[in-house]
């Protein structure tokens, strides 16, 4: 009984009966990108672009912007300023159905409130413990293989580059929704987050910089360069595979 009451309270107010819809005719993708990004920044409910009927490069691009009448009217002058040469037309449409119910008030764009879930914390903790174990293993191995680890911490560098490669794979799988939230907590936030380390990287860069500017620069810049390269490679390979 009580639960039902709360659910009724949570229901948003009835949606407006009329919305305003603007159609813009643009000549370039650059203009289209500007218009859509501005709409997103201003929290406009929806801004969608499509190419004209011919569908080839020469046909114009149309952008449709929809929101409640006052919100759209307040947005129009700024939009016209952004794409000054584009013809803009505004029509009003009657709303038949709105989903989700708070769509026009930015329900899709608004970030969800951050709540750490107890179950998630457990997965992050477990992943973090194992990730650190793997990092320490690699660092000890590097020290065992070559004492150069003390001067040029190539073990930590390998960890960071390897971790960047792996997180790119997981990140792409996550983006394509091949992964569950629990797996993200364990692998991405827990294991890989703890496997790689920024604090040791910063300390080692300053220390080896003090010993030798060349080695310090090579370590500091090399880690970033190889890390970005590895992540790029990870994204490319995963996108090709799926």
Partner 1 sequence: MVAAELAMTLIGAGVGAVLRYVIGGWVNHRMGPEFPWGTLAVNALGCFGLGFLEGVAPEDRVLLFVLGSGVIAGFTTFSTLMLETLNLAFAKERDRAFFNILGSLALGIPALSAGIYLGSGV
Near partner 1 by CB under 8 A: residue from 18, 74, 90, 136: 136
Among 196, 215, 219, 238, binds partner 1 (CB under 8 A): 196
Per-position x/- string for 137-176, each x denoting binding to partner 1 as judged by CB under 8 A, each - no binding: --x--------------------x--xx-xxx--x-----
28 binds partner 1 (CB under 8 A): no
CB of 234 to partner 1, least distance (A): 9
> Closest distance between partner 1 and the C-beta of residue 58, in Å?
23
Alpha-helix residue ranges (DSSP H) falling in the chain:
2-10, 29-41, 69-82, 118-145, 154-175, 181-183, 193-195, 199-211, 213-241
Q: Mark 44-73 with x for binding to partner 1 (rule: CB under 8 A) and - for no binding.
A: ------------------------------
Among 46, 51, 103, 125, binds partner 1 (CB under 8 A): 125
Contact 61, 52 (CB under 8 A): yes
- Binding flags for partner 1, 203-222, as an x/- string (CB under 8 A): x-xx-------------x--
Q: Cβ closer to partner 1: 75 or 123?
A: 123
Cα separation of 231 and 166, whole Å?
7
Query: Is residue 194 near partner 1 by the rule CB under 8 A?
Result: yes
Question: Among 38, 135, 153, 154, which residue interacts with partner 1 (rule: CB under 8 A)?
Answer: 135
Name the residue nearer to partner 1 (CB basis): 22 or 196.
Answer: 196
Contact 80, 24 (CB under 8 A): no
Q: Does 224 bind partner 1 (CB under 8 A)?
A: yes
Report the candidate in 29, 22, 24 with the shortest Cα–Cα distance to residue 44. Answer: 22
The rounded distance, in Å, linking the Cα atoms of 107 and 59 is: 33
Kindly list the distances between the CA atom of residue 234 and the CA atoms of 54, 96, 226, 239, in Å, as whole numbers in the listed order.
37, 45, 12, 9
**Are 20 and 90 a contacting pair, CB within 8 Å?**
yes
**In the structure encoding, which two tokens stand for residue 50, read together?**
């499509």
Kindly state the tokens that stand for 206. Answer: 């300053």
CB nearer to partner 1: give 79 or 163: 163
3-state secondary structure labels for all residues of 87-133? CEEEEEEECCCCCCCCHHHCCCCCCCCCCCCHHHHHHHHHHHHHHHH
- Residue 114 CB neighbour total at 10 angstroms: 5
Binding site for partner 1 (CB under 8 A): 33, 111, 113-114, 116, 120-121, 124-129, 131-133, 135-136, 139, 160, 163-164, 166-168, 171, 185, 188-190, 192-203, 205-206, 220, 223-224, 227-228, 230-232, 235
């Amino acid at each position: 009984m009580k639960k039902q009451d709360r659910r009724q309270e949570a229901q948003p107010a009835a949606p407006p009966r009329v919305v305003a819809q603007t159609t813009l005719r643009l000549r370039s993708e650059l203009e289209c990108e500007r218009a859509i990004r501005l709409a997103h920044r201003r929290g406009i409910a929806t801004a969608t672009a499509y190419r004209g009927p011919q569908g080839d490069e020469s046909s114009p691009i149309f952008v449709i912007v929809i929101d409640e009448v006052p919100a759209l009217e307040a947005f129009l002058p700024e939009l016209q300023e952004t794409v000054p040469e584009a013809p803009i037309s505004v029509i009003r449409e009657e709303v038949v159905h709105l989903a989700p119910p708070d769509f026009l008030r930015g329900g899709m764009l608004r970030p969800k409130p951050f709540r750490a879930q107890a179950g998630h914390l457990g997965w992050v903790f477990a992943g973090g413990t194992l990730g650190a174990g793997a990092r320490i293993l690699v660092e000890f191995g590097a020290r065992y293989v070559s004492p150069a680890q003390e001067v040029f911490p190539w073990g930590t560098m390998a960890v960071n580059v390897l971790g960047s490669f792996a997180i790119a794979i997981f990140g792409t799988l996550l983006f394509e929704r091949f992964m569950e939230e629990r797996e993200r907590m364990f692998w991405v936030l827990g294991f890989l987050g703890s496997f790689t380390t920024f604090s040791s990287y910063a300390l080692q860069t300053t220390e080896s910089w003090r010993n030798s500017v060349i080695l310090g620069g090579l370590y500091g810049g090399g880690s970033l360069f190889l890390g970005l390269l590895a992540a790029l490679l990870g994204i490319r390979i995963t996108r090709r595979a799926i």
